[in-house]
A and B are shown apart, each in its own frame.
Chain A
Amino acid sequence: MAETVPYSEKLKKWDRMESGKFGGKAPVTTLYPFVDVEKPPEYRGIPHINPEKCVGCGACVNACPPDALIMEWDKEHGVKRLTYNAARCIRCARCIEVCPTGAMEPTTRFEIASNSKEDLVEVVEHKLAYCEECGEYLDFTERQIEYVKNILPKDVFDLYSLEDRMKLTQEEKMRKTVVTLRETEGNVYPAFVLVGESTKEKGGEE
Chain B
Amino acid sequence: MGKQRLKSVWVYHVDAGSCNGCDIEVLDVISPYYDLERLGVKVVPNPRHADALLITGPLTRQTRISLKKTYEAMPPKPRIVVAIGTCASSGGIFYNSYALYNTSPQRGRDRLRSGGPEMIVPIDMYIPGCPPSPEEILYGISQLLGIREKKMKGEYWYALPPEERARRESEIEFKIPDRPIPLRYWLTLREELRRVVGYFDRDAVLEDFMTLVGKAFEDEKPREKLHDLVTGYFLKEKDSRVGFAMRFLENEFWRLVDEYLEWGEALREKYPVTAGV
Are A and B part of the same complex?
yes
Residues of chain A having any CB pair with chain B under 8 Å: 1-2, 6-10, 28-30, 32-34, 37, 39, 42-43, 46, 49, 51-56, 65-68, 70, 83, 85-91, 93, 96-97, 100-102, 106, 110-127, 141-143, 146-147, 150-153, 155-156, 158-161, 177, 180-181, 184
Beyond A93-B199, A147-B176, 16 extra complex contacts between A and B, CB < 8 Å: A1-B207, A9-B238, A30-B135, A37-B135, A65-B93, A88-B108, A112-B129, A113-B125, A113-B143, A114-B126, A115-B125, A117-B112, A122-B155, A141-B159, A143-B174, A180-B276
Report chain A residues within 8 Å CB of B142. 33
Report chain B residues within 8 Å CB of A88. 86, 89-92, 95, 108, 113, 128
Residues of chain B having any CB pair with chain A under 8 Å: 32-35, 38-39, 86, 89-93, 95-96, 108-109, 111-114, 124-130, 132-133, 135-136, 138-140, 142-143, 147-148, 150-162, 172-177, 182-184, 187, 190, 194, 199-201, 203-205, 207-208, 211-212, 233, 236-239, 242, 260, 264, 267-268, 271, 274-277
Q: Are A120 and B128 in contact (CB under 8 A)?
A: yes
Q: Are A111 and B139 in contact (CB under 8 A)?
A: yes
Q: Are A87 and B128 in contact (CB under 8 A)?
A: yes
Across the A-B interface, the 6 shortest Cβ-Cβ residue pairs: A113-B140, A8-B239, A90-B130, A33-B142, A142-B161, A51-B157
Report chain B residues within 8 Å CB of A29. 32-35, 38
Complex CA–CA separation, A10 to B35 (angstroms): 31
Complex CA–CA separation, A8 to B34 (angstroms): 29
Complex CA–CA separation, A100 to B191 (angstroms): 9
